[in-house]
Amino acid sequence: MTEEMNLDQSTSNIKKANQGDTIQVEKGEYKGSKGKVLTVRDNTVIIQIGKNPKTGEPIKTVVNHKNYKKVK
Protein backbone atom coordinates (compact mmCIF):
# COMPACT_ATOMS: atom_id res chain seq x y z
CA MET A 1 0.00 0.00 0.00
CA THR A 2 2.76 2.47 0.86
CA GLU A 3 4.57 1.63 -2.39
CA GLU A 4 1.48 2.61 -4.38
CA MET A 5 1.27 5.90 -2.51
CA ASN A 6 4.95 6.62 -3.21
CA LEU A 7 4.43 5.99 -6.92
CA ASP A 8 1.43 8.32 -6.99
CA GLN A 9 3.37 11.06 -5.22
CA SER A 10 6.39 10.77 -7.51
CA THR A 11 4.28 11.07 -10.66
CA SER A 12 2.25 13.97 -9.29
CA ASN A 13 5.44 15.99 -8.65
CA ILE A 14 6.27 16.04 -12.36
CA LYS A 15 5.30 19.35 -13.96
CA LYS A 16 3.47 18.79 -17.21
CA ALA A 17 3.62 21.12 -20.18
CA ASN A 18 0.41 22.46 -21.64
CA GLN A 19 -0.70 22.44 -25.24
CA GLY A 20 1.11 25.21 -27.15
CA ASP A 21 4.10 25.38 -24.75
CA THR A 22 7.64 25.16 -26.06
CA ILE A 23 9.79 22.45 -24.49
CA GLN A 24 13.37 21.22 -24.82
CA VAL A 25 14.07 17.48 -24.92
CA GLU A 26 16.53 16.38 -22.21
CA LYS A 27 16.99 12.67 -23.05
CA GLY A 28 16.69 10.40 -26.05
CA GLU A 29 17.24 10.58 -29.78
CA TYR A 30 16.16 14.23 -30.06
CA LYS A 31 18.17 15.46 -27.03
CA GLY A 32 18.59 19.25 -27.20
CA SER A 33 15.77 19.73 -29.71
CA LYS A 34 13.07 22.28 -29.02
CA GLY A 35 9.48 21.74 -30.05
CA LYS A 36 5.92 22.92 -29.63
CA VAL A 37 3.52 20.73 -27.62
CA LEU A 38 0.66 19.48 -29.78
CA THR A 39 -1.01 16.98 -27.41
CA VAL A 40 -0.69 16.21 -23.69
CA ARG A 41 -1.23 12.61 -22.55
CA ASP A 42 -1.04 10.99 -19.08
CA ASN A 43 2.63 10.02 -19.30
CA THR A 44 3.82 11.78 -22.45
CA VAL A 45 3.50 14.77 -24.74
CA ILE A 46 3.50 14.82 -28.54
CA ILE A 47 5.63 17.62 -29.96
CA GLN A 48 6.41 19.04 -33.38
CA ILE A 49 10.14 19.60 -33.75
CA GLY A 50 10.22 20.83 -37.33
CA LYS A 51 9.11 20.22 -40.89
CA ASN A 52 10.50 17.92 -43.56
CA PRO A 53 12.01 20.26 -46.18
CA LYS A 54 11.20 17.93 -49.09
CA THR A 55 7.57 17.11 -48.30
CA GLY A 56 6.56 19.89 -45.89
CA GLU A 57 5.18 17.32 -43.44
CA PRO A 58 5.61 18.06 -39.73
CA ILE A 59 8.23 16.05 -37.82
CA LYS A 60 6.59 14.83 -34.60
CA THR A 61 7.84 12.79 -31.68
CA VAL A 62 6.58 11.51 -28.32
CA VAL A 63 8.42 12.55 -25.15
CA ASN A 64 7.89 11.29 -21.58
CA HIS A 65 7.19 13.98 -18.98
CA LYS A 66 10.45 13.08 -17.21
CA ASN A 67 12.51 13.70 -20.36
CA TYR A 68 11.88 17.38 -21.10
CA LYS A 69 11.84 20.81 -19.54
CA LYS A 70 9.74 23.86 -20.35
CA VAL A 71 11.39 26.74 -22.18
CA LYS A 72 10.33 30.18 -21.01
pLDDT band at 70 (very low <50, low <70, confident <90, very high): very high
The mean per-residue pLDDT over the stretch 10-29 comes to 85
Q: How many CA atoms lie within 13 A of 13 on its CB side?
A: 6
Residue 10 has pLDDT above 60, yes or no: no
H or E segment to which residue 50 belongs: strand 44-51
Question: What whole-number percentage of the chain has pLDDT above 70?
Answer: 81
Domain 2-70: which CATH number of 2.30.30.30, 1.10.1040.10, 3.40.50.920, 3.40.50.10470: 2.30.30.30
pLDDT in tens, 33-48: 999 999 999 999 999 9
Closest by Cα among 29, 64, 63, 36 to 51: 36
- Spatial separation of the C-alpha atoms in residues 32 and 19, rounded to whole Å: 20
CA dihedral over 30, 32, 38, 44, signed as positive or negative: positive
Mean pLDDT of the chain: 87
